[in-house]
Amino acid sequence: MEQLPRSKGCFVCGDSEDNPRTLGLTIFWNDEERRTEIALAPDGTWCGYEGVVHGGIIASVFDDAMAWAVRREHGAWAVTGEMSVRYLRPVLAGNRYIVEGRVEKTSGRRIATTAVMKDEKGKEVAEANALFVRIPQKQSSGNEE
């Protein structure tokens, strides 16, 4: 698997020197499976309810997983046009999870994506789908180091 570069200042995958509030997650590209993979072990600072990871953080991780899948599949950045998330089970602080993101279909500038979060036993705890829109090349510069 290939480790993808960090995006400068990104809340999910940025470097703490650029953004002290980043989650600092590392995103990998699994070329064989054509998907991104993000391992995470949330702590108590990620929670909404005590011990339960905030849904907005889960959505943010999904967004990065799918955005980077688009970047790898199409070689260009795209922006999230819409996203839907289903929370199937509580995501608990102190546990380990894996998020996988992939491109499902492309039609012109519109790119349909999916993502899933699984626990250590491989059980799905959340899922997402999103529609990304490719942005013109001259507007997509400089987001990664």
DSSP line for 8-68: TT-TTT--TTT-TT-----EEEETTTTEEEEEE---GGGBSSTTBB-HHHHHHHHHHHHHH
pTM, two decimals, is 0.91
CATH number at residue 25: 3.10.129.10
Enclosing domain of residue 76: 2-139
pLDDT recorded at residue 36? 98
Q: Is the pLDDT of residue 145 over 50?
A: no
Query: How many domains is the chain partitioned into structurally?
Result: 1
pLDDT recorded at residue 44? 94
Asked if residue 144 belongs to a domain, the reply is no
Q: Which of 113, 108, 40 is nearest to 72 (CA)?
A: 113
- Give residue-wise pLDDT tens across range 11-49: 999 888 888 898 999 999 999 999 999 999 999 999 999
Please name the residue that has the structure tokens 């070329």. 31
Asked if residue 134 belongs to a domain, the reply is yes
Asked if residue 119 belongs to a domain, the reply is yes
Q: Could you tell me the strand order of the sheet in which 110-119 lies?
A: 2-3, 27-30, 35-40, 97-107, 110-119, 124-134, 78-87
pLDDT recorded at residue 51? 95
Asked if residue 99 belongs to a domain, the reply is yes
